[in-house]
Amino acid sequence: MIQVPLLDLSYQWRSEKDHLLASVERVLERGQYILGPEVRALEQEIAAYCGVGHAVAVGNGTDALILLLKAFDIGPGDEVITTPFTFFATAEAIVQVGATPVFADVDPATYLLTAAAVEKRITARTKAILVVHLFGQMADMTELGRLAEAHRIHLLEDACQSIGAAWDGHGVGSQSDGAALSFFPTKNLGAYGDGGMVLMRDEDRALRLRRLRVHGSVAKYVHQEIGWNSRLDELQAAMLRVKLQRLDAWTNERIAIAQCYHAAFADLPVHLPRPAAMARHVYHLYTVTVPQRDQVQRALAEDGIQTGVYYPIPLHLQEALRSLGHQPGDFPVSEQLAQQALSLPLYPGMEGWRQDAVIRAFRKAVLTLPKVQG
Ligand SMILES: *Cc1c(COP(=O)(O)O)cnc(C)c1O
């Protein structure tokens, strides 16, 4: 029986129930359900929250990535450098616009791309870096920004897991050409359905994105280019506005739980997701690496602790991307993380007794494992 789930969203619903229901009622009473005042307000509120000039709400995070790439005219013949240790949608978006994903391996301590690894993969065809702020921690945007500038390529962010995170005090989207957010229910700012957003500095490109999300339309039935139908609906926007009010408090809860785990596991032979000095980590997931991951996961399950494996197959070894021609061994750090990464329960509203149960069970599982040979 599960005593501690990996994630429990019921607390967020229960603690904001009245406000959420009121926001739904407001939209239903108003009678405008697509691209109305709630979406416009949410765009302004999130742009301000992240410290970015413009925000364009779309249907989901994957569309946000695709539209972000499109806004920079990235397509056939272009290469986009990214990480193989991420959710599939990162590379899928690159392929969907007709460009080629080029992988660089990640840093084993942060699980993130570094400027040094990216630089080795730059060619004459490289059009952009699509950095992923995995698990809620931002990559080194100072170094990546310098690299992108030196090579005159775009720096774009997959910030789907990292709203509220910062690098050197600056939020996602504020130190790059643009960023994609997801409001999938399990994300740190989760809707009650799908949702996404593109953040960007440049006003003209943001205007173009506003067209692209509605069939390239500049006015009703006037179409300037081929676009999409990818819109956030008013109901989701209204509920997200309620939850945005609580995001900082919920993020601080995540950080406090992570700090408890760091302290409780400091003596274990396990790699912990301690943030880089310049990073504000928002712990979308608390992901450790441990050599006998599958055994540890089984032992925790026996103690009623649910855990997650993000991600079991690195993207360069996915069947769907076999045309890229990669082999096992091409990105050894990502491959090792796929074997060793384990995410422990961590969510706002997680009770102290559940945190204690995770700490006890994880310590026991790691300390009673037979030692790895070699
Ligand atoms: C969730 C996620 C996406 C996709 O977002 P959706 O809203 O599910 O389309 C893309 N990249 C990363 C890293 C994600 O975690």
Q: Residues 224-263: pLDDT tens digits? A: 999 999 999 999 999 999 999 999 999 999 999 999 999 9
- Longest alpha-carbon distance in the chain: 68
Q: Does the C-beta of 61 come closer than 6 Å to ligand 1?
A: yes
Alpha-helical (H) ranges within 229-351 are 234-265, 293-302, 332-340
User: Within this chain, do residues 179 and 36 fall inside the same structural domain, yes or no?
Assistant: yes
Ligand 1 closest atom vs CA 194: 7
Query: What's the burial of 176, exposed, middle or buried (CB within 10 Å: 0-12/13-18/19+)?
Result: buried
pLDDT at 128 over 60: yes
CA dist., res. 68 & res. 89, Å (int): 13
What integer pLDDT is reported at residue 2 of this predicted model? 86
Report if residue 75 sits inside a domain: yes
Both 43 and 139 in one domain: the answer is yes
- Angle among Cα 260, 261, 266 to the nearest 5 degrees reads 105
Residue where one domain finishes, among candidates 194, 224, 244: 244
Residue pointed to by tokens 């961590």: 346
Q: Give residue-wise pLDDT tens across range 41-99.
A: 999 999 999 999 999 999 999 999 999 999 999 999 999 999 999 999 999 999 999 99
Ligand 1 atom nearest 62 alpha carbon? 9
Q: Taking 50 as the threshold, does the pLDDT of residue 374 lie above it?
A: no
Same structural domain, 216 and 274: no
Q: DSSP character for 59?
A: S
pLDDT band, residue 371 (cuts 50/70/90): low
Residue 323 domain boundaries = 247-373
Q: Domain check: are 239 and 147 in the same one?
A: yes
Based on the domain organization, do 252 and 231 belong to the same domain?
no
* Cis bond upstream, residue 283 (ω within 30): no
Question: From ligand 1's centre to the CA of 158, what distance in Å?
Answer: 8
If one counts the domains in the chain, the total is 2
Write the pLDDT tens digit of every residue in 293-350.
999 999 999 999 999 999 999 999 999 999 999 999 999 999 999 999 999 999 999 9
Confidence of residue 7 (pLDDT cuts 50, 70, 90): very high
Write the DSSP assignment of 319-364 as a string of letters. GGGGGG---TTSSHHHHHHHHHEEEEP--TT--HHHHHHHHHHHHH
Q: What pLDDT is stored for residue 1 in this prediction? A: 82
Give the Å distance between the CA of 86 and the centre of ligand 1.
Answer: 9
Q: Are residues 156 and 171 in the same domain?
A: yes
Q: Is the pLDDT of residue 31 over 90?
A: yes
Q: Amino acid identity of 293? A: R
Does any ligand 1 atom lie closer than 6 A to the CB of residue 60?
yes
Mean pLDDT of the chain: 97
pTM of this prediction?
0.97
- CATH number of the domain where residue 271 is located: 3.90.1150.10
Q: Based on the domain organization, do 236 and 264 belong to the same domain?
A: no
CB of 62 closer than 6 angstroms to any ligand 1 atom: yes
Share of the chain above pLDDT 90, in %: 97
CB 60 within 8 A of CB 87: no
Q: Rounded to 5 degrees, what are φ and ψ at 128?
A: -160, 160
Residue 161 has pLDDT above 60, yes or no: yes
Question: Does 158 contact ligand 1 (Cβ within 6 A)?
Answer: yes
User: Do 226 and 258 belong to one domain?
Assistant: no
Whether pLDDT at 373 is above 50: no
Domain of 155, CATH number, reads 3.40.640.10
Contacts 24+ apart (CB under 8 A), 365-368: 365/295, 365/296, 365/299, 365/300, 365/303, 366/268, 366/269, 366/270, 366/290, 366/296, 367/268, 368/299
The answer to whether residues 227 and 104 belong to one domain is yes
Would you state the pLDDT for residue 129? Answer: 98
- What's the CA-to-centroid distance between 179 and ligand 1, angstroms? 12
| pLDDT > 70? residue 372 | no
Q: Compute, in angstroms, the gap from residue 89 CA to the centroid of ligand 1.
A: 6
In a domain, 1, yes or no: no
The string of DSSP letters for 133-171 reads -GGG----HHHHHHHHHHHT-EEEEE-TT-TT-EETTEE
Instruction: Please name the residue whose Cα sits nearest to atom 10 of ligand 1.
Output: 89
Q: Which residues pair with 305 in a beta bridge?
A: 4
